[in-house]
């Protein structure tokens, strides 16, 4: 025995076939959802995708669903600008979409102004602490107009329903704006934001590394009373050079340094005129503070370079190893290691 119930509400036919479990709305298969269940669905999308992407999903889905509805009813009923008011009211009120009224029509420009009251998305948002404004339903009606009239429509929300306003007011108009453009724009915004975040991350990491290099490079090592060692490692740009000179000169008085051994072992033969000028500048400044500068870690190759090109370093005592340098300054001080 087939159990079937047919109703006609506001000109819309609704039927239930309890044997097959179907609910038909104007012949189309539909389902019913609690508003609270839809809220869970929307909240899940936002939790996974983020707020901005969720809004675009809702807008796009609402619009495309509207096109389906509008196109379907355009084939079933001869909808024009004169009877679209009756169509919207008869179709959406029985479906639980709240009260929708077209308050203004301009046939010359094909624009419509809708007042949407107590729609399901508004009720859904009222369940949320954020009290967000609707986007699915306004976009849906833009899609409906698109489907009804075969022309791309877009919308502008003039006011949202809230404690002060009893309805959402939306203006609809023909437009070149489309969903695909909005999707592309969001994708570009997200891509640009990801690039910005990566650039910021690289900048932060670079600064951390630069700070670490400043801390680790050219440390001041007090080896014996009055004797300091500063190893030079790698290349010295302007910032590193200034840091080296300032840190070294600041520390000389506190250590009462008589001798400063600049260890060039870490430079090998990779020493430029800029680095040589740095060494000479540091040595001249240290001499003014009463500290003698001695170059150690001089390999045969580096000795040839100093002799042939970096002649400004020839005025400094140069020794092969740090050990030789320490013994040398101890001898000059009248001391020996026992």
- The predicted-structure confidence for 105-135, as pLDDT tens digits, reads as follows 888 888 989 999 999 999 988 888 777 788 8
- Where does residue 27 fall: left (phi above 0), alpha (psi -120 to 50 degrees), or beta otherwise? left
Q: What is the mean pLDDT of the chain?
A: 83
Q: Model confidence over 273-320: pLDDT tens digits?
A: 888 888 889 999 999 999 999 999 888 888 888 888 888 888 888 999
> With bands split at pLDDT 50, 70 and 90, how would you rate the model's confidence at 183?
low
pLDDT (0 to 100) of residue 3: 56
> How much is the pTM?
0.54
Q: Which CATH architecture has domain 36-177?
A: 2-Layer Sandwich (3.30)
Whether residue 327 contacts residue 338, with contact meaning beta carbons closer than 8 Å, is answered with: no
Average pLDDT over residues 153-160: 92
Give per-residue pLDDT as tens, 39-95: 888 888 888 888 888 888 888 889 999 998 888 877 766 766 666 777 777 778 888
Q: Is the pLDDT of residue 217 over 70?
A: no
Measured CA to CA, the distance from residue 326 to residue 313 in angstroms comes to 19
**Residue 5: half-sphere exposure toward Cβ, Cα within 13 Å:** 5
Mean pLDDT of 154-173: 92
- Each domain of the chain, given as residue ranges in start order, spans 1-32, 36-177, 217-332
CATH architecture of 217-332: 2-Layer Sandwich (3.30)
Question: What is the per-residue pLDDT for 272?
Answer: 77
**Predicted local confidence at residue 294, as pLDDT:** 93
pLDDT grade, residue 9 (50/70/90)?
confident
Q: Above pLDDT 70, what percent of the chain?
A: 89
- Tell whether the model's pLDDT for residue 22 goes beyond 50: yes
Would you state the pLDDT for residue 1?
Answer: 46
């Amino acid at each position: 025995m087939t159990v079937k119930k047919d109703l006609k509400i506001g000109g819309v036919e609704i039927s239930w076939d309890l044997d097959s479990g179907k609910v038909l709305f104007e012949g189309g298969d539909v389902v019913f959802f609690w508003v609270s269940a839809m809220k869970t669905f929307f909240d899940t999308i936002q939790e996974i995708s983020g707020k901005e992407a969720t809004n675009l999903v809702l807008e796009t889905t609402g619009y495309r669903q509207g096109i389906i509805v509008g196109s379907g009813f355009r084939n079933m009923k001869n909808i024009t600008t004169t009877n679209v008011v009756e169509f919207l009211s008869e179709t959406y009120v029985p479906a639980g979409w709240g009260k929708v009224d077209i308050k203004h029509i301009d046939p010359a420009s094909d624009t419509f102004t809708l007042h949407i009251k107590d729609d399901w998305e508004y009720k859904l948002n009222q369940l949320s602490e954020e009290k967000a404004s609707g986007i699915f339903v306004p976009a849906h009606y833009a899609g409906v107009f698109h489907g009804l009239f075969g022309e791309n429509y877009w919308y502008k929300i003039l006011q949202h329903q809230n404690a002060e306003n009893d309805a959402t007011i939306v203006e609809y108009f023909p437009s070149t704006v489309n969903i695909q453009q909005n999707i592309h724009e969001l994708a570009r915004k997200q891509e640009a934001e990801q690039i910005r975040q990566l650039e910021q991350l690289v900048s932060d990491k670079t600064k951390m590394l630069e700070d670490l290099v400043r801390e680790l490079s050219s440390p001041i090592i007090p080896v014996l009373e009055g004797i300091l060692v500063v190893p030079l490692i790698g290349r010295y740009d302007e910032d590193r050079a200034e840091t080296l000179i300032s840190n070294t000169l600041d520390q000389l008085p506190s250590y009462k340094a008589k001798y400063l051994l600049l260890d060039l072992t870490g430079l090998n033969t990779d020493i430029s005129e800029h680095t040589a000028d740095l060494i000479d500048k540091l040595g001249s400044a240290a001499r003014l503070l009463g500290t003698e500068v001695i170059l150690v870690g001089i390999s045969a190759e580096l000795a040839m370079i100093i002799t042939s090109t970096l002649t400004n370093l020839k005025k400094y005592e140069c020794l092969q190893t740090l050990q030789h340098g320490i013994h040398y300054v101890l001898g000059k001080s009248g001391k020996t290691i026992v």
